[in-house]
Structure 1
Amino acid sequence: MRTLQMLQAYLQQTWCGVEFAVWVKTRRDRHMRLLISADDGLSGRPDDYMPAFFPSLPSAPSSSSSLPAARYDVFEKPPDTYIRYVLSTDSSALVRFRPSEPDQPLALTDGPLHTLGLYLCLLEAEETIEAKDKVLTKLIESTRSIASSLDIESVIHDLIRNTLTVIPAADAGLLHLYDPELERLVPKAAVGFRESVIHRFRLRVGESIAGKVYLDGKPRIFHTHKEIQAAMADLSIENYQHLDDAKELRHLHGLMCVPISRGVQRIGVLVIHQFHQENVFLESDLRILQDVADLTAVALENARLYADTKAALEQTAKLTEELKAKHDDLVKRTQIHETLKRLSLRNNGTEAIASALGNMVGKPLLLIDWLEQRHYPPHSELRELFSWDELTLLVSSRLHPRWISVSDKTADGWPEQPFSVYIYPLANGSVFLGCLLIRADSCTLSDLERITIEQGIAILALDLVKKQSLSSVFYKRSHDLFQHLLTAKGAELSHQAQSIGLMPGATYLCVHAMLLRCYDLAKQEAHIHRIVHRWKQLFNGWEVITYGFHNQLTMLIEAASHAHPRSCAEKLGDFAREWNQQEDCQIAIGVGGAYSGLEQIAKSFEEAKKAVQYLNNRNRFGVVRYGELGVNQLMINQTAEDMAAFVRDVFRPFWENRAKYAELEKTLLVYIQCSQSAQETANELHIHINTLYQRLRKIEALLNIDFKRPEDMLKIQLACHLRTEAAGAL
């Protein structure tokens, strides 16, 4: 400080050879502080140099000078002389002179003393200017920091440190922000505290000094430990312990707290503490602290805006990347779709599409056509992984893609390295069309592979549906041709037979079937398609024409020596049992007789239809040959209800008292079963023949019949036949 140097030089020049010391006390000082001393042995501690009598001096001395610069009093305390200056209302100074010789005179006239007072006033003004300049510099620095940095943690800490620099009485600072979720004031930044502890300090709104400032928005300043203790009386024990652990509160003897607001909304508080500094807080310090709090609010708002802007930019960048990825994905989809579509439009076939798809994916691939029971490509190594039954269990009821881990065996029987198979079903609504098998080393597919497969699946499904639609058109045409064949006569019959490929002298039999309990028309059409292809495989070389129409199927077989009607019925029986066990609908199949000549085809077809009608009227499924119906041929058109009523009428006398007549009913059934042989019936029932005769007479009386009368015997035989055929259902 230049004024201090000038003051020291003036003292040395004016009072040469005299020891001197200067103390000052401004409004910020709690005690007088040593400013200048000509004694090299002084330690610099104010208490060592303060004269004992000084505190008892009058607070407002009567100046011996009339000059307005500074009022002063002169006091003698040999060997020292003291001059006390009152520089302003809150500032004073004390100058001590000590002659080096006892009798050395001191020139303490008004002129030099007045000049000395001017220097002291100038020194106080210089300190005030430097303090304000320091405040302004730090505020500018804080403003620049807010404008130049987006690191909110660093900016807030710098603001608190700068505040502690420009307010000499402060040595610790704490910033609280309100957390709406916790409903507490939470420390955001701390300087001069143990941060690991202070962050546990959580204040309710209205609690202690900071809580009250946040609640009412009024700044507060405290100068003594007693004042602070009284204001913090409602601080919770837990918070007091956390705060005391962070900094010993017994040393706290000054505090200022101001609100931090964003517009009219309070968002936190800024607290400045005095623990060890000798200075005192001033009202101007409170205004400076409020300015810093306002800058803090700006910094927080900038941080919020920056965070929002950054989040918006990140979201925009993310959306841009997603749009780019979707655009690239769409371009790839379009290219793949166009490639596969060209193959489909050229009618190159399902195998060509599957082969092209496999080349695009770059992995072993197998397409399974569920409707025609075929594999594409037909010689793929994946064909041996699963049987048709296993595939039925795996995918026929699951219309979602899935991964399956497979461990095959080597030729020596040792397990190979396991691999994964991706099974992607093909469906048209509720109709299962087939699936795609893709071999991979792990259960992952790249985006390009996934896109390729999805596009390929759509094209393959479309191709399979197209094949099914073409087959339906072909079946309709086959149905019309066959129906025309059945009604044709003479030359027209020969012409129709020749167009189908029938030989005039060959033997043919017809098979007719009906799908029952299938209520989904799309599934019904798919089932018809599957059955037709299955029958063509079973009767390859035998069948002449096979088609489906609505829920019915028709097959014409050339009955050569190796195609006997019984063997055909056995093959169809195996098929029907498998179908009725696995599928969601049932099938009833009738087999007509084998006849030579084109004219007999219509007869065989009618027989096959009647056999199906026989099963349908009795709610049965499976296969039946018309020739095996026997007497049932006469009752094909009778419903199950009509036949049940006939049986009830005959057996009613037995059933009216089952406990009494059960033995007679059993005897009648065994008697008819044994072809009315009395001896065989008695042996079967383990009774004496006379007992049998007695039972037969009771039966005749009860049923009002005569076994010797033919019409009665026919009625009983027919009733027993239907009774046995019903298997106890009546």
Structure 2
Amino acid sequence: MRIDLLSHPALSELAQPCGLCVQDVEAEADADDAPASIRHSMERVGEVLHLVVDHSYFTARRSKFEICDDEGDRAAVRILQAVQSAVIELQTETFKKLASVNSAVINSLDENEIVHNVLREVMNVLPHCDAGVFRLFDEESGYLVPVSHEGLSEDYTHYRLQPNESVSGEVFTTGRPALHNGRQNIIDAHRVMRPESQSFMERSQIANALLCVPVVVEGKCLGTLTTLSFSQDGAFSAFDRTVLESLAGQIAVAYQRSLAYRNAVETSRRLEQMRSDLARKNAELDRAVELHEALLRIFSTGDGLMEQLRAVSELFHLKFRFENVLGVDYRSPEWTDGDETLCQSVEVAEAPVGHFHFRQSGDSGFQRALFGTLGAFVALDFVRDMSRMDVLNARKKAHFEALSTGLESESRGTHFGFRLDRLHQIFVAPAPRITDPTNTVLSLYKLESDLQQAMTTPNALIFHENEQVIMLVSASTTAALERNLNVISNVATGLSISIGASEIYDANEHHLNSQDLASQAAEALSRRGRAGLLRYREMGLELLLKGQARQDVLAFAHNILGVLAQDPRHGVLRETLLRYVQEGKSVTRSAQALGIHPNTLYQRLQRIEAVTGRNIADVRDFTLLSLACQIHAEYLGETTSPESA
């Protein structure tokens, strides 16, 4: 704080008659250590009375008076009274300002208003400060962050301090205020500084006085409040420190109150939101109960799934499409494919077994609730259907075993629409490779449905066991079975599956044997990595490879053929050998098929012997080359063509 003694009336009266001279000087001791009182000392030198008044606690200054008057003692008393009066007036004015601090800071419930108006009020109460900064501790980053500043460059916004760093960091950590007058004292006070903070300080103007106090409420330090003075005679006093501490206390209480108010408002908002959410969920629950009751009435009628879905479409005036893994496909009247649709899965044991497709319109929440509930009903029906299908599959399997032993059920109702005719054929289709056991069972039922629909003859007994679909087909003529076999072959290719077929036979005791042969054919085709249909009699070399893994079979072929199979540059030689084998070692037919001269064929055969180390004229070597070449062609799908030669 500052006082103007020269303008005091009492001292103006003494100036002329007493030859009064006044000089303000800095306090000898640190103003922070000055006692909370006004002290003085007098000394007479000749006819001059020297009076020194120390009011540094309030002003950080001392005043020196020289009195040239015979009644100097009486003048000294009047001077002391005047100084005391000026200090009292200073205190009174300061306390008035403290009492009337702008309501935007103390009484505001908006923490943003408090933060941005703090320094304006500080500079109003301490008018001799030129600048200031208000820092709050950010728990997330661990830094003291400048939330507002006055009289400083904009770069100061990014001047963040760690606790115990610089003056503000030390004040925040210790909770003790800091008062430093003099540029060198301020520089010396910045004992702990990170390199980036030190660099910022070196680029900044150093004040002549610094006062920093903690902003504390209920024992918790929220941050720091710092004031600066850049004037040449700028200085802060212990009284300034007390005033700023008082103001910081009010600010801390106001800021804490604003945070409590904000939390209360936020809590009230959350409670209102929870009430609104609860009301909405109750309404959705009521609607879900109504949906459940409506769907329960539909699905308890005992009608089939198609009729039940049609009833749902009519009741709720919805257009949708439903499909499941068993091939069921329902479309509402006027449903058209295309355009973007939403999807609701139907799941059983977390495995998707069907999907509803619909377009969003109107109340999307209602649609989601409807199809979610509908999916639950359909899933329940699916589980019941699966149970019935499992029982039916077990009965079909038992009926097949009975037929294989020469027995046939007496009741026509247990034949499942199948009757033994004169001729028979068995197909075996392994299930697609799926890791989920639930999906494997579903894929078997789906495969059964697809194959049943594709057959040209309805007289078939279809069931599954050991992850294979077994189909026993009977007909009165060979031609009928051949037509059915061609259709099944096309279906296998379209579905990318491998199906094995037995030969046509007429004796019932051959059912189990024919099943085994068809299973071997399916395994051979799968081992080749091919889709389609393979009859047992067409297995060829595969008859020697039962139980062998695909990689082992190919390893045998590669071992015999050597670089002929491994080096793409020898593709022409490999095709030549394959054609030579297929033409029964006929040079003429082989050369003609390859579109080359017989001499060229001989030259290639010689190169084949050289790269493989095998003698084509030797029966054993030629047998091995023939086997390996055919296996390589079958397993890798290679063919010969004149163009490639």
Judged with a 3 Å threshold, the aligned counterparts in structure 2 of structure 1 residues 174 and 667 are, in CA distance, closer, same or farther, namely: closer
What is the DSSP-based 3-state SS (H/G/I as helix, E as strand, rest coil) of the residue aligned with 1:199? helix
Partner in structure 2 of residue 568 of structure 1: 484
Deviation at 1:590, TM superposition (A): 2.8
Deviation at 1:232, TM superposition (A): 2.3
Deviation at 1:536, TM superposition (A): 3.3
Task: Tell me how far apart the structure 2 counterparts of residues 617 and 258 of structure 1 sit (CA, whole Å).
Answer: 87
Among candidates 3, 20, 44, match of residue 54 of structure 1: 20
Task: Tell me how far apart the structure 2 counterparts of residues 469 and 206 of structure 1 sit (CA, whole Å).
Answer: 74
Task: Tell me how far apart the structure 2 counterparts of residues 454 and 642 of structure 1 sit (CA, whole Å).
Answer: 48
CA contact 2:423–2:477 (8 Å) conserved in 1: no
Partner in structure 1 of residue 330 of structure 2: 376
Deviation at 1:376, TM superposition (A): 0.5
CA contact 1:572–1:623 (8 Å) conserved in 2: yes
Are 1:258 and 2:213 an aligned pair? Answer: yes
Judged with a 3 Å threshold, the aligned counterparts in structure 2 of structure 1 residues 316 and 591 are, in CA distance, closer, same or farther, namely: farther
Among candidates 448, 453, 468, match of residue 386 of structure 2: 468
Are 1:554 and 2:466 an aligned pair? Answer: no
CA contact 1:142–1:159 (8 Å) conserved in 2: no
Partner in structure 2 of residue 29 of structure 1: 3
Partner in structure 2 of residue 437 of structure 1: 357
Among candidates 454, 459, 469, match of residue 544 of structure 1: 459
Task: Tell me how far apart the structure 2 counterparts of residues 523 and 323 of structure 1 sit (CA, whole Å).
Answer: 39
What is the DSSP-based 3-state SS (H/G/I as helix, E as strand, rest coil) of the residue aligned with 2:502? strand
1:662-684, Cα deviation, whole Å (9 max, x unpaired)? xxxx999978x99xxxx999x99
What is the DSSP-based 3-state SS (H/G/I as helix, E as strand, rest coil) of the residue aligned with 2:471? strand
Partner in structure 1 of residue 430 of structure 2: 516
Give the % identical residues.
Answer: 16
- TM-score normalized with structure 2 length: 0.61
Deviation at 1:367, TM superposition (A): 0.9
Equivalent positions of 1:592-611 (< 5 A) are 592-593=504-505, 602=508, 605=511, 608-609=514-515, 611=517
Judged with a 3 Å threshold, the aligned counterparts in structure 2 of structure 1 residues 438 and 207 are, in CA distance, closer, same or farther, namely: closer
Deviation at 1:181, TM superposition (A): 6.8
Task: Tell me how far apart the structure 2 counterparts of residues 294 and 165 of structure 1 sit (CA, whole Å).
Answer: 17
Task: Tell me how far apart the structure 1 counterparts of residues 137 and 234 of structure 2 sit (CA, whole Å).
Answer: 31
Partner in structure 1 of residue 157 of structure 2: 199
Judged with a 3 Å threshold, the aligned counterparts in structure 2 of structure 1 residues 434 and 530 are, in CA distance, closer, same or farther, namely: same
Deviation at 1:90, TM superposition (A): 3.7
Task: Tell me how far apart the structure 2 counterparts of residues 163 and 537 of structure 1 sit (CA, whole Å).
Answer: 90
Judged with a 3 Å threshold, the aligned counterparts in structure 2 of structure 1 residues 144 and 616 are, in CA distance, closer, same or farther, namely: closer
Partner in structure 2 of residue 652 of structure 1: none
Are 1:150 and 2:109 an aligned pair? Answer: yes
Are 1:454 and 2:406 an aligned pair? Answer: no
Deviation at 1:366, TM superposition (A): 0.8
Among candidates 181, 184, 202, match of residue 230 of structure 1: 184
Equivalent positions of 1:577-596 (< 5 A) are 577-579=493-495, 581=496, 583=497, 586-590=498-502, 592-593=504-505
Among candidates 270, 278, 292, match of residue 225 of structure 2: 270
Partner in structure 2 of residue 7 of structure 1: none
Task: Tell me how far apart the structure 2 counterparts of residues 180 and 215 of structure 1 sit (CA, whole Å).
Answer: 14
Judged with a 3 Å threshold, the aligned counterparts in structure 2 of structure 1 residues 326 and 242 are, in CA distance, closer, same or farther, namely: farther
CA contact 2:323–2:329 (8 Å) conserved in 1: yes
Are 1:350 and 2:305 an aligned pair? Answer: yes
1:32-74, Cα deviation, whole Å (9 max, x unpaired)? 106499xxxxxxxx89x9789431863469xxxxxxxxxxx99
Task: Tell me how far apart the structure 2 counterparts of residues 164 and 206 of structure 1 sit (CA, whole Å).
Answer: 26
Judged with a 3 Å threshold, the aligned counterparts in structure 2 of structure 1 residues 473 and 342 are, in CA distance, closer, same or farther, namely: farther
Task: Tell me how far apart the structure 1 counterparts of residues 227 and 633 of structure 2 sit (CA, whole Å).
Answer: 101
Equivalent positions of 1:121-270 (< 5 A) are 134-142=93-101, 148-155=107-114, 160-161=119-120, 164-166=123-125, 173-178=132-137, 185-190=144-149, 193=151, 196=154, 199=157, 213-214=171-172, 217-219=175-177, 227-234=181-188, 238-239=200-201, 242=204, 256-262=211-217, 266-270=221-225
CA contact 2:126–2:240 (8 Å) conserved in 1: yes
Deviation at 1:189, TM superposition (A): 3.9
Among candidates 595, 604, 612, match of residue 518 of structure 2: 612
Judged with a 3 Å threshold, the aligned counterparts in structure 2 of structure 1 residues 149 and 269 are, in CA distance, closer, same or farther, namely: same
What letter is aligned with 1:199?
A: T
Partner in structure 2 of residue 714 of structure 1: none
Task: Tell me how far apart the structure 2 counterparts of residues 187 and 92 of structure 1 sit (CA, whole Å).
Answer: 42
What letter is aligned with 1:230?
A: Q
CA contact 2:345–2:354 (8 Å) conserved in 1: yes
Partner in structure 1 of residue 609 of structure 2: none
What letter is aligned with 1:376?
A: Y
Equivalent positions of 1:246-395 (< 5 A) are 256-262=211-217, 266-273=221-228, 283-314=238-269, 328-355=283-310, 358=313, 364-371=319-326, 373-377=327-331, 381-382=335-336, 385=337
What is the DSSP-based 3-state SS (H/G/I as helix, E as strand, rest coil) of the residue aligned with 2:486? helix
What letter is aligned with 2:111?
A: I
1:94-149, Cα deviation, whole Å (9 max, x unpaired)? xxxxxxxxxxxxxxxxxxxxxxxxxxxxxx76x77765555454444459777742
Partner in structure 2 of residue 9 of structure 1: none
CA contact 1:201–1:239 (8 Å) conserved in 2: no
Judged with a 3 Å threshold, the aligned counterparts in structure 2 of structure 1 residues 449 and 168 are, in CA distance, closer, same or farther, namely: same
CA contact 1:513–1:553 (8 Å) conserved in 2: yes
What is the DSSP-based 3-state SS (H/G/I as helix, E as strand, rest coil) of the residue aligned with 2:501? strand
Judged with a 3 Å threshold, the aligned counterparts in structure 2 of structure 1 residues 507 and 287 are, in CA distance, closer, same or farther, namely: closer
Give ranges in structure 1 of 5+ residues lacking alignment.
1-26, 38-45, 62-72, 77-81, 94-123, 386-405, 407-418, 644-654, 656-665, 688-701, 704-718
Judged with a 3 Å threshold, the aligned counterparts in structure 2 of structure 1 residues 496 and 137 are, in CA distance, closer, same or farther, namely: same
| Structure showing greater Rg | 1
Deviation at 1:164, TM superposition (A): 4.7
Judged with a 3 Å threshold, the aligned counterparts in structure 2 of structure 1 residues 359 and 139 are, in CA distance, closer, same or farther, namely: farther
What is the DSSP-based 3-state SS (H/G/I as helix, E as strand, rest coil) of the residue aligned with 1:433? strand
CA contact 1:592–1:606 (8 Å) conserved in 2: no
Task: Tell me how far apart the structure 2 counterparts of residues 151 and 723 of structure 1 sit (CA, whole Å).
Answer: 88
What is the DSSP-based 3-state SS (H/G/I as helix, E as strand, rest coil) of the residue aligned with 1:33? coil
Task: Tell me how far apart the structure 2 counterparts of residues 134 and 559 of structure 1 sit (CA, whole Å).
Answer: 122
Deviation at 1:150, TM superposition (A): 1.6
CA contact 2:210–2:229 (8 Å) conserved in 1: yes
CA contact 2:490–2:532 (8 Å) conserved in 1: no
Give ranges in structure 2 of 5+ residues lacking alignment.
23-47, 53-66, 191-197, 549-559, 561-578, 599-617, 636-645
What is the DSSP-based 3-state SS (H/G/I as helix, E as strand, rest coil) of the residue aligned with 2:341? strand
Q: How many residues align?
A: 532
Judged with a 3 Å threshold, the aligned counterparts in structure 2 of structure 1 residues 149 and 433 are, in CA distance, closer, same or farther, namely: same
Task: Tell me how far apart the structure 2 counterparts of residues 285 and 428 of structure 1 sit (CA, whole Å).
Answer: 77
CA contact 2:132–2:225 (8 Å) conserved in 1: yes
CA contact 1:170–1:277 (8 Å) conserved in 2: no
1:566-612, Cα deviation, whole Å (9 max, x unpaired)? 21221122223333x2x4xx33233534x7xxxx6x36846853652
Deviation at 1:300, TM superposition (A): 3.5
Task: Tell me how far apart the structure 2 counterparts of residues 188 and 667 of structure 1 sit (CA, whole Å).
Answer: 91
Task: Tell me how far apart the structure 1 counterparts of residues 332 and 160 of structure 2 sit (CA, whole Å).
Answer: 75
Partner in structure 1 of residue 449 of structure 2: 533
CA contact 2:343–2:355 (8 Å) conserved in 1: yes
